[in-house]
Structure 1
Amino acid sequence: MHATRAGFWILAPIIGLVAGLLYSMAFDAELFVSAVRGAFIGFPVLLYERGLLLRGWRDLIRRAATPIFMVATVATYVATIAVGNAAAGTILNHGFGYMPDARAAMMMSESGFAYALGISALATFVFRVRDLMGPRVFASLLIGRYHRPITEERIFMFLDVTGSTRFAEEHGDLAAQRWLGAIFSALAGPVHRSRGSIDDYVGDMALVSWSMERGTQDAACLRCLFDFARVIKDDSEQWIARFGEVPTFRAALHCGPVVTAEIGLERRKIAHFGDALNTTSRLEGLAKELGVDVLVSGDLLDRLGQMPIEFLVSDLGSRPLRGRKEPLRVATVSERTIQPFTGGFQA
């Protein structure tokens, strides 16, 4: 994960530089100057989109309606363009003697501003579509990865928000929807940090998945779950202030081969088919029966290998599951460093 972020710090300015070179070819501008301006303008925009710059503001407007999101994001891009261009102009003037004074070097031509604004508007639209579809689904549809069904191994997590029916009865369906929306928004960060994908929402349940390589690396699938528990716990006062209580949840994790394919025509979707997905769903029901917060299959534990020291695994033996001929070995997992608390996992 750290290597991926390090690569981004190299890739981001290169992307901006390429955009600057394209501008120079389109408008017959100075090649070197356009490249420098492109790097300084594109780099902070990409930092912003990765949540490394103005993260709180970015998260706030991503929750807004699409028209508000579009206007606010383009306005943010314009401000970023102005600052990046000013930084580039200063360096071009002081470092390379470009233009007689720094103030003139920081000015942007009308064509340059229109180009940057047009690219920003296009990027805003693309990123909004990506948010609506999910980064993994968007990228996979874009490159046609699952246009033909393929068999792959994935890790699945069913995360169920407990008490949602009671909450709806007490506060109404609209309040319950806002509550679930806030919970699933809070889940996005931990899933992103673990390099997973939120594949679907079904009522009060979220389906999260990882490729086998990403999910098993340093037990990322489990780290995502406990990361989410900490996010809920750390914001417990805000949850109480907004909704009168702190969310609780339980989760089940399993892995195995599935067939993944694009389905639908007017509304395209990437869907998984196979026993691994069905088994994960049944494990979530078993977790409820056993009264445990986290239930992990023995198959996944075997694939995770040496468990990180902070996780404590408690074997629950082999349990029968509806629809399976053979019982499945299961265990519950907890963090050694976390004491029981109200919120996050069930109290």
Structure 2
Amino acid sequence: MPPFRARFWIVAPTIGALAGLLYGAVVGGEPVVAAIRGIFIGAPLMLYERGLLVRRWRALTRRAATPIFAVATLATYIAMIVLGNAVAGTILHRGLGLMPDARSAMMMSETGFAYALGISALATFVFRVRDLMGPRVFASLLVGRYHRPITEERIFLFLDVAGSTRFAEEHGDLAAQSWLGAIFAALALPVHRARGSIDDYVGDMALVSWSMDRGARDAACLRCVFDFMHSVEAEADRWVERFGAVPTFRAALHCGPVVTAEIGLERRKIAYFGDALNTTSRLEGLAKELDVPVIVSGDLLDRLGPLPADLRAADLGLRPVRGRKEPLRIATVREVAAAGEPARVAATMRRR
């Protein structure tokens, strides 16, 4: 488990305890009792939203339409509130002896339940908006980070679904859209684990980005690609059963300075401007031309430093890139087996 996730198992109960103390201070009540109830009611909700509890159910509800998502999430919250209160009551009564009456220890006041449910409904709305906009875009718009354009260095990944045109010709546009939707839904978890951000979808291509420090740490931007490959391979039978084929991909990665800014009025979004983004797009086309599954610029490899032991880069030399005066050094990256021999290249990245 990544360190930031492990830390959240401590952060969530702390926040829950503080929320319980605040509620106890407002309505009156024993601080210890309020804090314990806050821990066992609030912490599970936060851990659930962080993807650390009931992961499969959470992922299923997030793929549903908004009305179904709202009802399912509220039902989940209510179940967690009731169960958390029961656990807290058991501890208060039997474990700590702070509440001699078992019935009162298990019961939850109407005010307390309404408070917890109201906060849960608000959280459901906020998290749904965050899901629709993307966590990074939502947070950035909320705090106004890019209200004024700024220059920053970012790592970009263009992940292109190969064969999408042929799939649409064979199965129709509606089936192709369902296929792409399922692919991009499967991409979300690997990107989240790599602490990246899915910034946009353009046809059959997903644009993923990282801040330089996050994407370069332990080659997270590259690991994201191979993590996604493995997740698709692991469910190859399900892809064949549902769509008749396992999706295949091409990936291009590059880095550099860009201008990042909020654009739009009625519909605001975070947009990037600069050569780094254009170059990444050109590299994706070059990957198709050279028939390599993963292509990485030399600029990015230099910034990543020594690659982890399970990744190997093969130099492809200097190549002219449209829009750039100077040729760009590029390489392809693959995983290697523990013994040092090249690992089997994932089928999802080889088939065309």
Q: TM-score, normalised by structure 2?
A: 0.96
- Structure 1 match to 2:331: 331
- 1:119 corresponds in structure 2 to 119
1:322 correspondence with 2:322: yes
In the alignment, the residues of structure 2 paired with residue 195 and residue 105 of structure 1 have an alpha-carbon distance, to the nearest angstrom, of 41
Residue identity matched to 1:342? A
Is the deviation greater in 231-240 or in 29-38?
Answer: 29-38
Aligned to 2:340: none
The one-letter code of the counterpart of 2:85 is N
- 2:267 corresponding residue in structure 1: 267
Please give the per-residue CA displacement for 1:15-64, whole angstroms capped at 9, x wherever unaligned. Answer: 11122122123322332211111111111111111111111111111010
**DSSP 3-state at the match of 1:98:** coil
- AA in 1 matched with 2:34: S
Match for residue 97 of structure 1? 97
Q: In the alignment, what sits opposite 1:225? A: 225
- What do residues 165-192 of structure 1 show as CA deviations (whole Å, max 9, x unaligned)? 0111111111101000000000000000
Q: Tell me the secondary structure at the aligned position of residue 51 of structure 1.
A: coil
2-side partners of 1:270 and 1:26: how far apart?
Answer: 39
1:64 aligns to what?
Answer: 64
1:228, 1:344 within 8 Å by CA — same for their partners in 2?
A: no
More divergent stretch after superposition (7-16 vs 124-133) = 7-16
- Alpha-carbon contact 1:13-1:39 (below 8 Å) kept: yes
Q: Which residues of structure 2 form unaligned runs of 5+?
A: 338-342
**Alignment identity in percent?**
74
SS at match of 1:314: strand
2:110 aligns with 110
Deviation for aligned residue 1:336? 0.9
Aligned to 1:236: 236
Give the letter for the 2:158 counterpart.
F
Partner Cα separation in structure 1 for residue 346 and residue 145 of structure 2? 42
TM-score by length of 1: 0.97
Q: Which residue of 2 aligns with 1:340?
A: 345
Please say if residues 155 and 254 of structure 1, whose CA atoms lie closer than 8 Å, have aligned partners that are also in contact.
yes
Q: Which runs of 4+ in 1 moved over 6 A?
A: none
Deviations 1:249-282 (A, max 9, x none): 0000000000111111111101111100000000
Cα pair 2:199 2:208 within 8 Å, conserved: yes
The offset of 1:248, in angstroms, is 0.2
Structure 2: distance between partners of 1:140 and 1:87: 37
* Structure 1 residues 342 and 141: CA distance shift in structure 2, 3 A: same
Structure 1 CA distance for aligned equivalents of residues 252 and 5 of structure 2:
29
**Distance in structure 1 (CA, Å) of the matches to 2:86 and 2:349:** 45
Q: Distance in 1 between matches of 2:335 and 2:226?
A: 8
Contact 1:21 1:34 (C-alpha < 8 Å) held by counterparts: yes
- Matched residues in 2 for 1:344 and 1:29: separation? 60
Where does structure 1 lack aligned partners over 5 or more consecutive residues? none
Task: Trace 1:1-347 onto structure 2 (pairs within 5 A).
Answer: 2-337=2-337, 338-346=343-351
Secondary structure of the structure 2 residue equivalent to 1:199: strand
Deviation at 1:100, TM superposition (A): 2.2
Answer yes or no: is the 8 Å Cα contact 2:230–2:346 preserved in 1: no
Kindly provide the amino acid, as one letter, of the partner of residue 128 in structure 2: R
Say how many residue pairs are matched.
Answer: 347
Distance 2:239 2:233 in 1: 9
Counterpart of 1:209, as a letter, is: S
1:182 and 1:232 mapped to 2: Cα distance?
A: 11
3-state secondary structure, aligned to 1:326 = coil
Give SS of 2:303's match.
helix
Shift of 1:345: 4.4
Q: CA deviation at 1:324?
A: 0.6
Between 14-23 and 125-134, the greater mean CA deviation after superposition? 14-23
8 Å contact 2:334–2:345 — kept in the other structure?
no
**1: CA distance, partners of 2:283 / 2:19:** 49
Q: Is the 8 A contact 2:154 2:255 kept in 1?
A: yes
* Contact 1:229-1:345 within 8 A present in 2 as well: no
How far does the alpha carbon of each residue in 1:68-103 deviate from its partner, in whole angstroms, 9 at most, with x for none?
Answer: 000000000000111111111111112332332334
SS at match of 2:325: coil
User: Which of 223-232 and 336-345 deviates more?
Assistant: 336-345
Matches of 1:77 and 1:147, distance apart in 2: 34
Letter in structure 1 aligned against 2:217: Q
Matching residue's letter, 2:138 = F
